[in-house]
């Protein structure tokens, strides 16, 4: 019986079938991302290289990544990068993996900032920096401040700002919420994708999330609203007249977050839905002086 020729095509086919049997969500995509990473090429290049035979070292490296993926380590952590808002972002276990849903927050923030000549924005809990960097990239006149309580996350975010050519317009601060800001500082817009999942719900999430992503970026307190309470209560002193506060929310949290914003004196507009039609962003504005 002839020995299997482990071409790129054969490796992808076998891995996709194996991932499918093990119940992974995106078996073909994961297989392609892992193999492209090992071969140091783009996913699309795999197609034209179907008949190539990877070296023994490359097959060994691929096999190790496949094992880790089967242990439910997220593919983004294994390859070290995730695309967000058409930009490449380094990701490590120190940061939450950027989600497509968060692009809804970026869309809304860009629309808000582009209406101002020299806008300033603050990203609270920046993580990988995906929101702050995307805003700076899309709104060339903007200056952005990005804060996070985790020094390790900030290190990743700084590298992402440099990688995407906006390091000169993004300032990074280490501290809890607004604590690292200097007195008298103010912004046109404050944005945040805060932790918003109750601890009891975290335990029901996929292993990729609950066992690998940073708990500090997920845990929103007993009812998931702890950070929204602080953001709504404390943002006003850091906003310019007519400034805005935008937050990503869990799809069941719209009414609760809107009520918090209104109680804090914000004028609350229509909740913005993500591409899947779920409530995703709540926007509050301060009255102009």
Query: Is 77 part of any known ligand binding site?
Result: no
pLDDT at 289: 53
Q: Is the pLDDT of residue 191 over 80?
A: yes
Euclidean distance between CA atoms 103 and 100, whole angstroms: 5
Q: What is the distance between the alpha carbons of residues 95 and 193, in angstroms, rounded to a whole number? A: 12
Q: Report the distance separating Cα 210 and Cα 269, nearest Å.
A: 33
**125: annotated binding-site residue?**
yes
pLDDT in tens, 227-285: 999 999 999 999 999 999 999 999 999 999 999 999 999 999 999 999 999 999 999 99
Q: Yes or no: say if 286 and 261 are a contact pair by the CB < 8 Å rule.
A: no
Identify the pLDDT of residue 86: 94
Determine whether the annotation assigns residue 193 to a binding site: yes
In whole angstroms, give the CA distance from residue 83 to residue 55. Answer: 28
128 is in an annotated binding site: yes
Q: 255 a known binding residue?
A: no
Could you tell me the sign of the dihedral formed by the alpha carbons of 219, 137, 122, 112, in that order?
negative
pTM equals: 0.91
Confidence of residue 4 (pLDDT cuts 50, 70, 90): confident
How far is 32 from 12, CA to CA, in rounded Å? 7
Give the number of other CB atoms < 10 A from CB of residue 129. 31
Residue 104, marked binder: no
127 a known binding residue?
A: yes
User: CATH top-level class for 92-285?
Assistant: alpha beta
Instruction: Tell whether the model's pLDDT for residue 36 goes beyond 80.
Output: yes
- For the chain, the domains span 8-71, 92-285
pLDDT in tens, 77-97: 999 999 999 999 999 999 999
- 266 Cα distance to chain centroid: 26
Give the separation between CA 197 and CA 250, rounded to whole angstroms: 8
Residues of the chain with pLDDT > 90, as a percent, come to: 95
Band of pLDDT at residue 1, cut at 50, 70 and 90: very low
Phi and psi at residue 178, to the nearest 5°: -95, 0
Determine if residue 175 is labeled as part of a ligand binding site: no
Rounded distance between C-alpha atoms, residue 235 and residue 204, angstroms? 32
- Reported as a single tens digit per residue, the pLDDT across 89-124 is 999 999 999 999 999 999 999 999 999 999 999 999
148 marked as binding residue? yes
List, in sequence order, every residue forming a beta bridge with 174; answer none if it has no partner: 148
CB 159, CB 212: distance < 8 Å: no
């Amino acid at each position: 019986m002839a020995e299997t020729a482990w071409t790129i095509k054969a490796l992808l086919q076998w891995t996709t079938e194996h991932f499918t049997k093990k119940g992974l969500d995106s078996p073909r995509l994961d297989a392609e991302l892992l193999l492209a990473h090992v071969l140091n090429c783009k996913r699309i290049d795999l197609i034209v290289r179907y008949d190539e035979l990877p070296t023994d070292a490359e097959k060994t490296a691929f096999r190790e990544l496949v094992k880790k993926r089967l242990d439910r380590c997220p593919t983004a952590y294994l390859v070290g990068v995730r695309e967000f808002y058409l930009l490449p972002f380094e990701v490590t276990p120190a940061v939450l993996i950027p989600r497509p849903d968060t692009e809804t927050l970026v869309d809304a923030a860009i629309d808000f900032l582009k209406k101002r000549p020299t806008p300033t924005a603050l990203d609270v809990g920046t993580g990988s920096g995906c929101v702050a960097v995307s805003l700076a990239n899309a709104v060339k006149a903007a200056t952005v401040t990005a804060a996070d309580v985790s020094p390790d996350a900030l290190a990743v975010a700084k590298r992402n700002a440099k990688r995407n050519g906006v390091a000169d317009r993004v300032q990074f601060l280490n501290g809890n919420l607004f604590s690292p800001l200097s007195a008298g500082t103010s912004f046109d817009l404050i944005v945040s994708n805060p932790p918003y999942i109750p601890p009891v719900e975290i335990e029901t999430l996929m292993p990729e999330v609950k066992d690998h992503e940073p708990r500090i970026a997920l845990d929103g307190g007993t009812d998931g609203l702890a950070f929204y309470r602080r953001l709504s209560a404390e943002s006003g002193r850091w906003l310019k007249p007519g400034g805005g506060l935008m937050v990503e929310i869990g799809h069941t949290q719209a009414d609760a977050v809107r009520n918090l914003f209104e109680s804090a004196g914000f004028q609350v507009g229509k909740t913005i839905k993500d591409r899947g039609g779920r409530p995703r962003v709540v926007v509050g504005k301060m009255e102009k002086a």
